[in-house]
Amino acid sequence: MCGIVGYVGPQNALDVVLEGLRRLEYRGYDSAGVAVLAGGGQATAKKAGKLANLEKDLADSPLPESTIGIGHTRWATHGGPTDRNAHPHVSADGRVAVIHNGIIENFAALRAECEAAGVEFTSETDTEVAAHLLARVYDETPPGPGRLAEAMRTVSRRLEGAFTLVASHADEPDTLVASRRNSPLVVGVGEAADGTPEYFLGSDVAAFIAHTREARELGQDQVVEIDRHRGLTVTDFAGTAVEPHAYTVDWDAEAAEKGGYDWFMLKEIAEQPRAVADTLLGRIGQGGELVLDEVRLSDQDLRDIDKVFVVACGTAYHAGLIAKYAIEHWTRIPVEVEVASEFRYRDPVLDRSTLVVVISQSGETMDTLMALRHAKEQKARVLAICNANGSTIPRESDAVLYTHAGPEVAVASTKGFLTQLIACYLVGLFLAQVRGIKYADEVATIVDDLRRLPEAVAEVLTRMEPVRELGRSLAGAGTILFLGRHVAFPVALEGALKLKELAYIHAEGFAAGELKHGPIALIDQGTPVVVVVPSPRARESVHGKVVSNIQEVRARGARTIVIAEEGDEDVVPYADHVIRVPRTPTLMAPVVTTVPLQVLACEIADTRGYDVDQPRNLAKSVTVE
Ligand code: F6R
């Protein structure tokens, strides 16, 4: 999703802004641009494609030195990914430069208004309207300190939809202003080598983490003014001063680097044992009981819950599907799982005794955020499972359980997913503990199982060479099917999603029991079918039924790739390839069975020559609908 960077300080702004944009590349984008204030005017450069294209242009025609600048990576929504549509957009009088993340929903009416006043538009974007409006409103705003911020507040009140806007004006060479509604923005506050204060704006902290870890969180419907001399001022859209929440980022720049791996995704897959361990850290008491201090819901609130909804998008939704098996089994509370984009437009039946668990790695996914608000309007309690500290979703939730995965840079979620699973197990078990459904020793036994997971994941990772080899042999496949049953069904969905998004191969995940109701017709001679086998200890004869499914697809010509736990010999006669995972408790098996599927998708994509970290058309954080 669009990346935003702004800088005010003693360093050369262009260098700082370009470096920030590089760190935001992981969000996914298709054009990039920068603007600096110099010589009494705006100097801009923008280019479709990767940042490298823009940097090449800048090497040929450099922008003047400046100490104030903005930069943007754009993920096209209104208007294709062209040079013209790239941000920044400059007002007709050339004085204002604007960058934007989000969608201005009433842009057509505002554009008509500007055109009626004689403004000629040069792009197809919704953003350009903000540049023209801001220039016009600025001219109508009384001169004096804070004039640009006042103009930004006036404009913001007129905009509908989602936006983070950052703007500079040629008449205010020491000021940047930004405005935020339903779209993320963080301010970094640092000190340059010479002791001069410097300020950064970013869509997330990765934009400025190399310079400072001191951050200020901008709330909903707020405007920030950064003035070189007067410092930082935050107000709401009406102009009332607001004290921004200050926090220190607990990542460092090194954590956001590749650390010697070819891809961020590989690094993040390798980090999973640590990420799983960190997500458990500090949450287990002396007696093996769970201590979830951050869950700011009282025990009585938790005892009153009679229904749970889990709401999320994409991979996080798959974590939710697995959560259902665990929460229902451990607590006997009914659980519904739904994609946020559906939930938010339905009339789900919720009340004060409903717990809505929203899961989001980024904490900024628009549909999940809107689902959260939809749930809160109906008085449901909302618990967020989130990785990004200080992001919008946890801030607006009643309670939060952070996954301590560290920064996830690759667009495809890996450690984010595994840690979401851990957090879901913690929520389910905590509910069972608080409600007294499980005895303390039962809780402690399950907690012991959870504690063994980091080691189990580490063990899976030591066995990945044959999986990589298999991946190379599958790189030419036209379609790959994934089957699973019980908790292995969402794992099959996740395996198919990873393959689609990274390798651009048609892939589908099915509940193995549905095979004969249609999907089996897809099996052709040589069709690769990945079967995730549930534990032989899973409910009733689920395991045996999946073994039968392997036989059935093989009898119709499929090449069978079977993920099964150690010692499961039943699968051997029907498997062309067996990928072994350590024996794990039934409900926790997804934590180990997902890992080979991540590695497989990564290797197939790499063999096909694709950018594993930034797959085409995708964005890390989907902050628009
Ligand atoms: C897939 C993937 C996406 C995200 C989804 C939700 O690998 O990463 O499907 O899981 O966009 O994102 P968050 O968790 O940030 O809300």
Q: Is 341 in the pocket of ligand 1 (CB under 6 A)?
A: no
Q: Has domain 462-620 been given CATH number 3.40.50.10490?
A: yes
More confident residue, 534 or 619: 534
Q: What confidence tier does 77 reach under pLDDT thresholds 50, 70, 90? A: confident
Edge-to-edge strand order for the sheet containing 222-227? Answer: 89-90, 96-104, 161-169, 175-181, 222-227, 231-236
Fill in the DSSP letter of residue 241.
B
Two structure tokens written together for 270? 């390798």
pLDDT digits (tens, 9 = 90+) for 11-46: 999 999 999 999 888 777 789 999 999 999 999 999
Fill in the DSSP letter of residue 65.
P
More confident residue, 474 or 293: 474
Answer for the pair 216, 246: CB distance below 8 angstroms, yes or no. yes
All CATH 3.40.50.10490 domain ranges in the chain, comma separated: 258-451, 462-620
Read off the pLDDT of each residue in 283-310 and give the average, rounded to a whole number.
90
The per-residue pLDDT for 102 is: 85
Read off the pLDDT of each residue in 121-129 and give the average, rounded to a whole number.
94
Distance separating alpha carbons of residues 125 and 100, to the nearest angstrom: 10
Which atom of ligand 1 is nearest the CA belonging to 393? 16
Q: Is 553 in the pocket of ligand 1 (CB under 6 A)?
A: no
The per-residue pLDDT for 540 is: 66
More confident residue, 619 or 401: 401
Read off the pLDDT of each residue in 502-513 and give the average, rounded to a whole number.
96
Q: Which residues contact 112 (CB under 8 A, 6 or more apart)?
A: none
Distance separating alpha carbons of residues 164 and 156, to the nearest angstrom: 10
Q: Is 71 in the pocket of ligand 1 (CB under 6 A)?
A: no
The per-residue pLDDT for 343 is: 95
Distance separating alpha carbons of residues 473 and 55, to the nearest angstrom: 37
Chain mean pLDDT for the chain:
93
Q: Is 612 in the pocket of ligand 1 (CB under 6 A)?
A: no
CATH code, residues 258-451: 3.40.50.10490
More confident residue, 529 or 101: 529
Q: Is 422 in the pocket of ligand 1 (CB under 6 A)?
A: no
Q: Has domain 3-255 been given CATH number 3.60.20.10?
A: yes
Q: Is the pLDDT of residue 552 over 70?
A: yes
The per-residue pLDDT for 316 is: 98
Q: Is the pLDDT of residue 233 over 70?
A: yes
Helices 415-434 and 440-451: angle between axes, nearest 10 degrees: 170
191 - beta bridge partners? 197
Edge-to-edge strand order for the sheet containing 381-386? Answer: 335-339, 307-312, 354-360, 381-386, 399-402
Q: Whose CA is nearest to atom 5 of ligand 1?
A: 314
pLDDT digits (tens, 9 = 90+) for 82-108: 999 999 999 999 999 999 998 888 989
Q: Is 409 in the pocket of ligand 1 (CB under 6 A)?
A: no
Q: Where in the sequence numbering do the catalytic residues fall?
A: 2, 620
pLDDT digits (tens, 9 = 90+) for 46-57: 999 989 999 999
Answer for the pair 560, 575: CB distance below 8 angstroms, yes or no. yes
The per-residue pLDDT for 1 is: 67
Read off the pLDDT of each residue in 149-173 and give the average, rounded to a whole number.
95
Q: What confidence tier does 601 reach under pLDDT thresholds 50, 70, 90? A: very high
The per-residue pLDDT for 249 is: 85
The per-residue pLDDT for 282 is: 86
Read off the pLDDT of each residue in 308-318 and give the average, rounded to a whole number.
98
Percent of the chain with pLDDT over 90: 82
Q: What confidence tier does 390 reach under pLDDT thresholds 50, 70, 90? A: confident
484 - beta bridge partners? 511, 532
The per-residue pLDDT for 175 is: 97
Q: What confidence tier does 115 reach under pLDDT thresholds 50, 70, 90? A: very high
The per-residue pLDDT for 256 is: 67
Q: Is the pLDDT of residue 119 over 70?
A: yes
Two structure tokens written together for 242? 């607001």
Distance separating alpha carbons of residues 372 and 560, to the nearest angstrom: 41
pTM of the model: 0.80
Alpha helix segments (H runs only) across 258-339: 264-270, 272-280, 299-304, 314-331
All CATH 3.60.20.10 domain ranges in the chain, comma separated: 3-255
Q: Is the pLDDT of residue 257 over 80?
A: no
**CA 404–ligand 1 middle distance (angstroms):** 16
| DSSP assignments along 411-446, one per residue | SS-SHHHHHHHHHHHHHHHHHHHHTT-S-HHHHHHH
Least Cα distance to 330 among 489, 439, 457 occurs for 439
Which atom of ligand 1 is nearest the CA belonging to 417? 10
Ligand 1 binding pocket mutation candidate from 204, 263, 313, 367 (most atoms within 8 A of CB): 313
Read off the pLDDT of each residue in 342-356 and give the average, rounded to a whole number.
94
Phi-psi region of 51 (alpha: psi -120 to 50; beta: other; left: phi over 0): alpha
Q: Is 619 in the pocket of ligand 1 (CB under 6 A)?
A: no
Q: Whose CA is nearest to atom 16 of ligand 1?
A: 360
| DSSP assignments along 331-379, one per residue | H---EEEEEHHHHTTS-----TTEEEEEEESSS--HHHHHHHHHHHHTT
**CA 349–ligand 1 middle distance (angstroms):** 26
**CA 320–ligand 1 middle distance (angstroms):** 12
Q: What confidence tier does 591 reach under pLDDT thresholds 50, 70, 90? A: very high
The per-residue pLDDT for 217 is: 87
Read off the pLDDT of each residue in 211-240 and give the average, rounded to a whole number.
95
Two structure tokens written together for 286? 């002396």
3-state secondary structure of 85: coil
Q: Which residues contact 473 (CB under 8 A, 6 or more apart)?
A: none
**CA 145–ligand 1 middle distance (angstroms):** 42
Answer for the pair 37, 219: CB distance below 8 angstroms, yes or no. no
**CA 60–ligand 1 middle distance (angstroms):** 38
Read off the pLDDT of each residue in 553-565 and give the average, rounded to a whole number.
97
What are the φ and ψ backbone dihedral angles of 177, each rounded to 5 degrees?
-125, 155
| Angle at alpha carbon of residue 335, lines to 355 and 313, rounded to 5° | 80
The per-residue pLDDT for 460 is: 98
Answer for the pair 51, 64: CB distance below 8 angstroms, yes or no. no
